[in-house]
Structures are given as structure tokens and as C-alpha cells.
Amino acid sequence: MRYAESPLPALSALERVQLAEEPRTRFDPVVVASRLRQMGDQCNMDFERVSSEALAEVLKGKMEKFEAAVDSLSRSWSDQNPELVYERVFLSVSVKLLMYVAKKVPAMVHPNQLIKVINGNFRVRNYIEDCGGWVRV
């Protein structure tokens, strides 16, 4: 019996050992969604009572201001609660605000809005990586 040749180059013994030692990182969207939902549930901010120019613009349907609104609200909440880590607050506020906007102005919410906001914030991306990924955030 002959085995088909692999189109991939053969790995050396050292490369096989290195690959075996590397942690296997898999992106599981279910885990990410679950973590984000948990974080959103931790946000007790009442957006109706918050005074923020960027938030007012978002609530008028200007989603290009979404990231600025999240950042502004997160900084304010972090300043009032110094025991909270800004990056976790940012994630919590972004989820809660997106859910709020989806109820108020559903036509304006894009599925990738949250991804853009999270990936667009260097501090938050580094925080997730430093924690060891979404499983540990």
C-alpha cells in the first residue's frame, strides 16, 4: 500500500517537537460571545442619564461616533471607579452600548461594529493578549 505524498514539506524532528510544545490557540466565537455578554451584563450604566456629546451622536444614528462614545464613557467610569481596569470597562461598555443602540436604532447597527471597536483599541487588544486570550479575559 502506498501513501499519497504530502504537498507540504516534511518537518524535521526539531520542528515537530517545537510544534508539539507550542500552545494550540483556537479562536472560538462562542467563547468570545459568551465573555462579551458577561462583560456587558456587568455594565450598569444608564445611557439615558449619561451626558456625552459622542453618545448623543450615536443615539441619533451616527455610528461613526461609536468608538469615541465608548472610549469617553469608559474613561469616565474608570475615573469614578479606580479599582476597575480601563480595558475591562471598555469591553463592558462597548457591549452594553451596542446592545442599547441595537434596541433604539436597529438599522444603524452593523454586525462588525463591536469587532472594529475592540480591534481599533490598542490597549484593549494588548489586554486580551496579555490575559492569554478570550478564554481568560
Mean pLDDT of all residues in 67-85:
93
Cα within 13 Å of Cα(115), Cβ side: 6
Residue 18 pLDDT > 70, yes or no?
Answer: no
Given a cut of 90, is residue 5 above it in pLDDT? no
Q: With a cut of 50, say whether residue 69 has pLDDT above it.
A: yes
Tell me how long the chain is: 137
Angle CA 51–93–45, to nearest 5: 50
Separation CA 42–CA 68 (nearest Å):
20
pLDDT at 19: 47
pLDDT of residue 13: 59
Q: With 80 as the cut, is the pLDDT of residue 100 above it? A: yes
Residue type, 44: N
